Structure formats: C-alpha cells, structure tokens
C-alpha cells in the first residue's frame, strides 16, 4: 500500500468551512425601539408635561361667562449625542492571493467587522435598558410569597405568567393612558414561557400545538415579542466564558410604531445618518487604502453612530431575575 502522504495532498474543502457567526435576528437592539434618523450628531427635543394633559379641569360654562382655561408646559430635553463606534480588519494582497477556496478575504472581513459592531450595539442596549433603576417600576422574581414589588419566578410551577402580565399592563395603562405593546425576553425567560403548564394548556388545541413567539403575543395580547438570543465571550483565551448578552430578565413597555411629534415612547434610537454613506442605523462599511502596509493593502472598516435613549421611564416595567 503506497504511503497516503505521497498520493494525496490535503486541501481545503471548497463547500465546507466553520465559522461561529450569529444571525442578525439574534440581536434585538434595532427591533425594540424606533430608529430616528438625525442629520446632526447632537440635538435636543421637547417634552410635554404629562400631568397637564390628564387633569380633569373642564367645567360648566354659565350664561355670558368666560370658559375656564389653562395651559400645558413644554421643557427641553437633555441633548442626545450619537457616539461613533468603529472596528476594522486589515487585508493585504498576500491575504487574498494565498487563501484557498472557500475562504474569501473581503467577504470574511466584512462579516467579521459587522459581527463586532452588532455585538457592541446589543451589549449597549442591554446594559442601558435591561437593569434595575431605569424604568418606572422594577419587579423581582422570587420563589414564593411575593410582596407588592415581586412576583413568583416564571419557571416555578406556582407562577401565573398571564396574570402577572395582565396586572402590569393594567398598571401602566392606569399610570400613562397607554397599554404596553412590547415584551422583551431573555432566552431563559422565553423558554420558561414555552414550557409553562399554564401556557401549554391554553395552546394545546391550536393548529400548531406548540408555543411560538406569535402565539405568546396573541395570548398575552402584546403585538411585539422580542427574544434576545445574542451571546458573547467575556474575555479572550481560556479564561473567557460564553454567555447570553441578556439573562434571566424581561421588559414590558410601550413603544410607538409611528414616531412623530407629540408621540410618547419608552425609548428611541437616534441614528446619525448624516454621515456620508450611512445606512438606516447610521452604519457604514468602507475600504481604506493602507499603502504603508504594502501595495494593495486595504482596511475594511465599519462604523455605527447612535444614541440609544430612554424617553419615558413610566412606559417601562422591568422584571429582574424573573427565572432561575
């Protein structure tokens, strides 16, 4: 039998490669709050005083008397500021010429840079909005005997998820005049809903017979249900851990689907689209010649310029440690 090393030279498979690339639908930062394109990096907006619109002040008018009247207050917001985030990957002609099929230097570099920016944006969103002390109410999951600011964890048999959601939908409606229309779930919270006996019992006679985001949205009467599936590594090397960006929490909020004047919303994303070549989320990818690195060398660089901004605190209710 001839020596295999003399009869076959190992080559890359042209139809197989391995890359841990997260799909864009795993990220929710651009799905929860409306994106507001802005031409300036920084500016402000106006806030109408909530109280003046909800006071019952109209009164009967006597014959020949003036009607009772009033006014509302308008304040300037703190300016938003779209910070510019960037990442790059350098390529040379040697990289391109020496890569075997199916490796594609330019395409791979673009995907690599895009993933870095998506992960940055997702972690910014979670760090800013999915934590205590941000929204009008914080509800903590407990194993038993909940008090007024607690509820039984949704992965526990005694929990009543549907009653919990209805209660806090009613609370927000009473406090703001708007009913929550968006539910943001960590993967653990979503899985707990999918496996909960209360949910399974209600959908067992449906056509699909299995829990989906659409069925959860229909059952809870919440149009928008988003699940954060994005993961990241805590640090480079063997000491780093793979973790979900969002874990064991949920956010119930009202988000307008038509951003406009005099329209409240839990949050907005200001995207500085005034940058040349910027897309809808103020994202852009450019090729930059880097001749000092060699003839034909280029830098594949990506940018995003945004400010993820809290608008109305009382239009969000945060559930902390809602599952184990």
pLDDT at position 293 = 81
pLDDT at position 9 = 41
The residue-averaged pLDDT of 178-189 equals 96
**Does pLDDT of 57 surpass 70?**
no
Of 18 and 164, the structure prediction assigns the larger pLDDT to 164
pLDDT at position 40 = 87
pLDDT at position 6 = 42
* Domain enclosing residue 233, as ranges: 20-49+73-320
Would you state the structure tokens that stand for residue 138, as one six-digit string?
Answer: 């914080």
User: Would residue 235 count as lying in a domain?
Assistant: yes
Q: Is 66 helix (H, G, I), strand (E, B) or coil?
A: coil
User: Would residue 54 count as lying in a domain?
Assistant: no
Which residues are CB-neighbours of 172 under 8 A, at least 6 positions away? 136, 178, 179, 180, 252, 254, 314, 315, 317
Of 277 and 271, the structure prediction assigns the larger pLDDT to 271
DSSP labels, 216-238: HHHHHT-SEEEEE--EEESSSST
Q: Determine which of 19-28, 195-204, 304-313 has the lowest per-residue pLDDT on average.
A: 19-28
Q: Give me the CATH number covering residue 124.
A: 3.90.1690.10
User: Would residue 3 count as lying in a domain?
Assistant: no
Side-chain-facing half-sphere of 44: CA atoms under 13 Å: 8
Report pLDDT digits (tens) over 115-131. 999 999 999 999 999 99
Q: Is 52 helix (H, G, I), strand (E, B) or coil?
A: helix
User: Would residue 115 count as lying in a domain?
Assistant: yes
Of 153 and 52, the structure prediction assigns the larger pLDDT to 153
CA–CA gap between residue 201 and residue 162 (Å, rounded): 12
Tally Cβ neighbours within 10 Å of residue 112: 16
pLDDT at position 53 = 61
What is the count of structural domains for the chain? 1
């Amino acid at each position: 039998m001839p020596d295999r090393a003399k009869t076959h030279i190992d080559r890359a498979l042209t139809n197989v490669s391995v890359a841990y690339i997260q799909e864009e639908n795993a990220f929710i930062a651009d799905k929860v709050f409306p994106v507001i394109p802005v031409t300036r990096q920084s500016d402000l907006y106006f806030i109408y005083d909530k109280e003046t619109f909800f006071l019952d002040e109209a009164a009967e008018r006597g014959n020949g008397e003036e009607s009772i009247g009033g006014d509302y207050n308008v304040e300037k917001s703190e300016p938003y500021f779209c910070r510019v985030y960037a990442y790059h990957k350098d390529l040379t002609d040697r990289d391109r010429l020496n890569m075997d099929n199916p490796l594609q230097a330019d395409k791979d570099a673009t995907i690599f840079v895009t993933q870095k920016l998506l992960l940055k944006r997702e972690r910014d969103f979670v760090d800013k909005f999915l934590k205590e002390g941000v929204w009008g109410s914080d509800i903590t999951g407990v194993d038993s005997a909940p008090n007024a600011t607690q509820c039984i964890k949704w992965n526990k048999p005694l929990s009543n998820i549907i009653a919990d959601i209805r209660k806090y939908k009613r609370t927000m409606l009473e406090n703001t005049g708007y009913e929550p229309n968006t539910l943001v779930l960590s993967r653990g919270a979503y899985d707990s809903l999918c496996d909960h006996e209360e949910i399974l019992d209600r959908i067992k006679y449906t056509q699909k017979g299995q829990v989906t985001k659409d069925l959860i949205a229909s059952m809870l009467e919440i149009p928008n249900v988003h699940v954060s599936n994005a993961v990241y590594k805590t640090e480079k090397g063997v000491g780093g851990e793979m973790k979900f960006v969002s874990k064991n929490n949920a956010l119930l909020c009202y988000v307008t689907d038509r951003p406009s004047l005099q329209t409240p919303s839990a949050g907005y994303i200001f995207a500085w689209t005034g940058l040349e070549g910027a897309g809808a989320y103020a994202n852009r990818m450019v090729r930059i010649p880097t001749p000092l690195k060699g003839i034909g060398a280029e830098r594949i660089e990506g940018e995003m310029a945004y400010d993820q901004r809290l608008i109305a605190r009382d239009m969000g209710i945060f559930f902390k440690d809602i599952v184990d």
